[in-house]
Structures are given as C-alpha cells and as structure tokens.
C-alpha cells in the first residue's frame, strides 16, 4: 500500500476533512493519510499549487490527493496522473500541473469518470473531494484498481497549466513577486539566489527593497538571528527562494505585504 498525502482548502471548522479521511478508511482501513495542510485560502488554486510544489519533494512516494476546487460541479475535469513520484489526484484547474512537472511529468493521465469508483451524491455536485477524488485516491493507494480502471485516458500533456510570474529586469535591479506568506509573517518571493547573483550580489550585501513608492534598505543574511529582534532582513528560505522577514515579528505586517505583491530589488550602490 502507498500513503496518501492530502492537501485541501477545507479548513478544520467543518467536517469535510474528517469525511474524506472516513471515505478512504472505509475503502481500506490500513491506508496512511498525511495531512499536508487544510489551511489554503478558499479557492486559491495558485497558493495550493505552490504549497504542493514546496511539500512534494519531502513527501513519501504514493498518492497526492489535492482538493482546491473552486470550479467543482462545472466542466473542469477530475483527473488522476501517474508520474515517476506516484499518482496525483484532483481537479484539472492548474493546481496539479507545477508539481507534476517538477517530479518528471505525467506518463499517463485519465479522467475520473468510471461510476464504480464514485460515491453517489445525495445532493448537488459540490463535494467531489468526498465523492470522486477520495475514492480514486484510495483505490490507487490500496492497489485495488489501476489507473486505466478509473476512466478514459487523456493526452499526457493535457493538464491545465498554471502560469506563474517570472522575475523580470527592472532598471538596475529586478522585479519579483511575493508568492507566499507563512503564519509568522515571513514573505517568500519568486526571486532566487541565482537571480541576485546575476546582479553581482551575494550574502552579506545590502539591498534596496522597493514596495510601491516606499524603499527599504535591508541586509541579505543567512538567519533571523543575524539581526536584532524587531529588525528586518532578506534571506534564502528553506525552499531556496528569497524571503523578507522580521526577527520575532511579521514582515507582512511591518511592510504591508500580501500575496501577489510586486517588489523590486536592486543594489544599494
């Protein structure tokens, strides 16, 4: 049997996460489910996709069950994809595509259409996480069905892509974007150390961080402890991207940053 890694925007106030666990357990009680997160903002496909990309390289090979599905009940396809890492199950709305590409691409993709592996809904088509995705993930993880059993095969390159912004030149610097705010208020950008090296910058340098019309001179350091409490800094985070942080504080609050905010970085000289 293979573990199932579950990532949703369900939150924990309602019974939705427990119900998905329950469906999986009724199909195969011995399956292990890893709760990656259920705290993705409601319907935020990009945030869910980026969380999956960050997490999948540390998850055991198996089945990734991802339910960020603002288009539930519409013509968007429910799919499962086989990759060198394992299976990805979820809506074909872009949430799966970056992680699938990162682990080597899909060798087989199917539409989840076979009624044998669905739970008949007592009401409207608003809970595919329970009725479609959880059963598919469970039978794949338990070895009770093959991918081809679940529905018709689709083209391997047919996954709906998720377009992520690239770092762009901006005068003597570069323009990036805030991709992720964690619960501590640290702000991950899409800027890498290699992008900064292209400007002739290295750890230990001071940079100008421009947010709208405001400019801040911040040091590029290795750890929060390299500055005094309450002081801001730039650092390469645990996923290899430049983050804006405040030691023992929130950079998001201090600098009024939100997901999708554009930032410009340039040398001080």
- At 41 the pLDDT is 93
Structural domains in the chain, CATH included, are 4-154 (3.40.50.10790), 168-267 (2.40.30.90)
Average model confidence (pLDDT) for the chain? 95
Q: Is the pLDDT of residue 86 over 90?
A: yes
Which of left, alpha, beta for 90 (phi over 0: left; psi -120 to 50: alpha)?
left
- At 165 the pLDDT is 87
**Mean pLDDT confidence for 157-181:** 93
Q: Could you report the per-residue pLDDT of 190-246, keeping only the tens digit for each?
A: 999 999 999 999 999 999 999 999 999 999 999 999 999 999 999 999 999 999 999
* pTM for the whole structure: 0.90
Give 82's strand partners: 87, 108
The rounded percent of the chain whose pLDDT value lies above 70 is: 99
Strands 63-67 and 87-91 come out as parallel
**37: Cβ contacts below 8 Å, ≥ 6 apart:** 7, 8, 51, 55
Q: Could you report the per-residue pLDDT of 2-35, keeping only the tens digit for each?
A: 999 999 999 999 999 999 999 999 999 999 999 9
Cα angle 76, 80, 86; round to 5: 150
């Amino acid at each position: 049997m293979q573990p199932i890694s579950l990532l949703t925007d369900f939150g924990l106030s309602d019974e939705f996460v427990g119900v998905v666990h329950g469906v999986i357990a009724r199909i195969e009680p011995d399956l292990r489910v890893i709760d990656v997160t259920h705290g993705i903002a409601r319907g935020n496909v990009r945030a869910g996709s980026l969380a999956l990309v960050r997490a999948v390289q540390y998850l055991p090979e198996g089945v990734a069950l991802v339910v960020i599905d603002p288009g539930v009940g519409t013509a968007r396809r429910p799919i499962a994809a086989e990759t060198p890492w394992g299976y990805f199950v979820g809506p074909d709305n872009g949430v799966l595509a970056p992680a699938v590409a990162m682990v080597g691409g899909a060798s087989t993709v199917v539409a989840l259409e076979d009624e044998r592996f669905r739970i008949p809904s007592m009401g409207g088509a608003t809970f595919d996480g329970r009725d479609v995705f959880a059963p598919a993930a469970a039978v794949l993880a338990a070895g009770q069905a093959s991918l081809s059993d679940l529905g018709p095969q689709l083209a391997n390159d047919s996954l709906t892509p998720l377009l992520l912004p690239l770092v762009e030149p901006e005068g003597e610097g570069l323009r990036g974007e805030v991709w992720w705010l964690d619960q501590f208020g640290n702000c991950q950008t899409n800027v890498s150390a290699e992008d900064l090296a292209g400007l002739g910058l290295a750890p230990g340098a001071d940079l100008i961080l421009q947010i709208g019309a405001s400019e801040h001179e911040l040091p590029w350091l290795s750890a929060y402890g390299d500055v005094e409490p309450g002081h801001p800094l730039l650092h390469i985070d645990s996923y290899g991207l430049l983050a804006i942080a405040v030691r023992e504080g929130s950079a998001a609050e201090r600098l009024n940053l939100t997901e999708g905010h554009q930032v410009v970085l340039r040398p001080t000289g």
